Amino acid sequence: MFRVLNYLTIYLSFLHIVHATSRTSPPTGAKIVRAGTANSGEFSTPSAAVNSLPNDSSSQSIFIYPGTYTEQVSITRVGPLTIYGYTTDTSTYKNNQATIQFGLDAGQAGSDDASGTLRIHKDNFKMYNVNVKNTFGVGSQAIALSQYGDRVGIYGCGLYGYQDTLLAEQGAQVYLRGYIEGATDFIFGQRGQAYFGGNTIGVKGAGWVTASGRSSDDSTSYVFNANTIVTASGAFSNATSRQYFGRPWSNYAKYVGIHARSGEAHIPGRVIFKNTVVTAPFNTALWSEWSTSTPNTDHVFFADYNTSGGGVSGASRPSFATVLSASQAAAYTISSAVGSDYTSWVDTSYVV
Ligand SMILES: *[C@@H]1O[C@H](CO)[C@@H](O)[C@H](O)[C@H]1NC(C)=O
Ligand SMILES: *[C@@H]1O[C@H](CO)[C@@H](O)[C@H](O)[C@H]1NC(C)=O
Ligand SMILES: *[C@@H]1O[C@H](CO)[C@@H](O)[C@H](O)[C@H]1NC(C)=O
C-alpha cells in the first residue's frame, strides 16, 4: 500500500510538471525587453519598449526577459497591448522572473495614481507573469499597479506594496491566479468593476484587504472567488488579529490634506468574498468600519460566503456585514462583476 501511494505521488507530481507551460522566448512580433541589452532592435527597459509603440489601433505585444527593472511605466496608447514576462510556468505567479519596481509614495508624487509603478490608462490591456512592486514601504499611500482601463486582464502577476498596493479605480478588470500583497487598504478604488479569482493574497501587517470607495449606488463591485489569504513572508507581528476583509472608504476620511478632491461625496462599498480560505489570523469581526468617528457603514454591502481556514475561527461579524446563502452567492460571478460579454476579452483559461 505504501509503495502504491508512493508511486501515485510520483505520478501526480509528474502530471503537475507536464502541465506547467513555460514562456522563455518572445512570441512572434513582440518587442523585446532585455536588461543590459546591446542587441539592435531590443530595449533595455519596459518603458523604452512601451514608448516605441505606435499610438494607433494596432495590436502590439512586449516580452520581458528576466531582470529587475527599476522605473515607473505609464501606458496610454490606444490599441490593444499585451505584456508577457519570462516564466517557466505560465499558470502561476510563482516562477515569474521579470520585475518592474519603484519606490515612490503619493505625497511625493502628488496623487495615488502618480505614485504607481505601473500605470494603465488605456483599454484592452493584458499582462502575464510580471511582478510589479512599489518598494516605498510603510507610512503612506504607495501604489504598485494603478488601473484606469476597461477590459483589462492581469494573469499570474505579483503585485507588491504595503499601503494601497492596487488601485482598481475604474473599468472592467480581472485579476486571476496571481499574488497581491499589502497591509493597509491594499485593494482599493472608486468605480472599478473587478473580479479576483484564484489569487494568493498576502497580509504584511495590520490593516484591511479592501477599501471600496464606490461613489454612487451604481452597479460596480469587487467580487472575489476562491482566493487564499495568507500571512506574507516577512509580515509584521501586528498582522495578527488586526487584518480584515475590508473597510468602507470615504473620500473625506481618506483624502484629508494632500489629496483633497473636494466635492466628491462617496457612498462606500460593495465587496463580496466567496469561497475564500483564510490562513492569515484575521480579527474575528472580519469586516471593519472606516473609523470610529466616520464609520461609513450606512450603505455598505460587505458579504462573504463559504469562508474557511484557521484565520477566521471564532468569527463574529458586525451587523453591517452579510453572510450569503448558497443561492444568494450564486448571483455574484465574473459576469456580474465585469459584464456578461467577458469571454470576448478575458483569457478564460485563467478563470477560477
Ligand atoms: C495616445 O493617444 C491617446 C488618445 O488621443 C492619448 O490620450 C494618449 O496620451 C496618447 N499616448 C501616447 C503615448 O502618445
Ligand atoms: C505595524 O507594524 C509596523 C512595523 O512595526 C509599523 O510600521 C506599522 O505602523 C504598524 N501598523 C499599525 C497599523 O500599527
Ligand atoms: C468552499 O470553498 C472551498 C475553497 O475555495 C472550496 O473548495 C469548496 O468547494 C467550497 N464549497 C462550496 C459548497 O462551494
Counting residues of the chain whose pLDDT is more than 90, the rounded percentage is 81
Distance 307 CA to ligand 3 centre (A): 8
Q: Is the pLDDT score of 261 beyond 50?
A: no
| Residue 138 CB–ligand 2 contact under 6 Å | yes
Distance CA 234, CA 272 (A): 28
Higher pLDDT, 5 or 292: 292
Closest atom of ligand 3 relative to the 226 alpha carbon:
5
- Tell me the β-bridge partners of 203: 182, 231
Residues 169, 190 contacting (CB under 8 angstroms) = yes
Please compute the mean of the pLDDT values over residues 212-237 and round it to a whole number: 89
| Residue 240 CB–ligand 2 contact under 6 Å | no
Q: Is the pLDDT score of 185 beyond 90?
A: yes
Give me 258's grid cell. 494632500
Q: What pLDDT shows up at residue 145? A: 98
Q: What pLDDT shows up at residue 214? A: 74
Please choose from 228, 276, 277, 306 the residue to mutate so as to test ligand 3's pocket, defined by most ligand atoms within 8 A of CB: 306
Q: What is the mean pLDDT of the chain?
A: 90
Q: What pLDDT shows up at residue 213? A: 84
- Tell me the β-bridge partners of 193: 172
pLDDT band at 191 (very low <50, low <70, confident <90, very high): confident
pLDDT band at 251 (very low <50, low <70, confident <90, very high): very low
Please compute the mean of the pLDDT values over residues 159-183 and round it to a whole number: 98
Ligand nearest to the CA of 55: 1
User: Going by CA atoms, what residue is nearest to atom 4 of ligand 1?
Assistant: 78
The set of catalytic residues is 185
Distance 180 CA to ligand 3 centre (A): 21
Ligand nearest to the CA of 330: 3
Q: How are beta strands 130-134 and 301-305 bridged, if at all? A: unpaired
In CATH, the architecture of 23-350 is 3 Solenoid (2.160)
pLDDT band at 220 (very low <50, low <70, confident <90, very high): confident
Please choose from 203, 238, 242, 291 the residue to mutate so as to test ligand 2's pocket, defined by most ligand atoms within 8 A of CB: 238
For residue range 72-117, what is the model confidence (pLDDT) as tens digits? 999 999 999 999 999 999 999 999 999 999 999 999 999 999 999 9
Q: Is the pLDDT score of 207 beyond 50?
A: yes
Distance 205 CA to ligand 2 centre (A): 7
Q: What pLDDT shows up at residue 216? A: 65
Q: Is the pLDDT score of 265 beyond 50?
A: no
| Residue 55 CB–ligand 1 contact under 6 Å | yes
Which segment of 3-17, 87-101, 264-278, 300-314 scores lowest on mean pLDDT? 3-17
Distance 133 CA to ligand 2 centre (A): 19
Distance 242 CA to ligand 3 centre (A): 25
> Global pTM?
0.91
Q: In angstroms, what is the C-alpha Rg of the chain?
A: 20
Ligand nearest to the CA of 57: 1
| Residue 76 CB–ligand 1 contact under 6 Å | yes
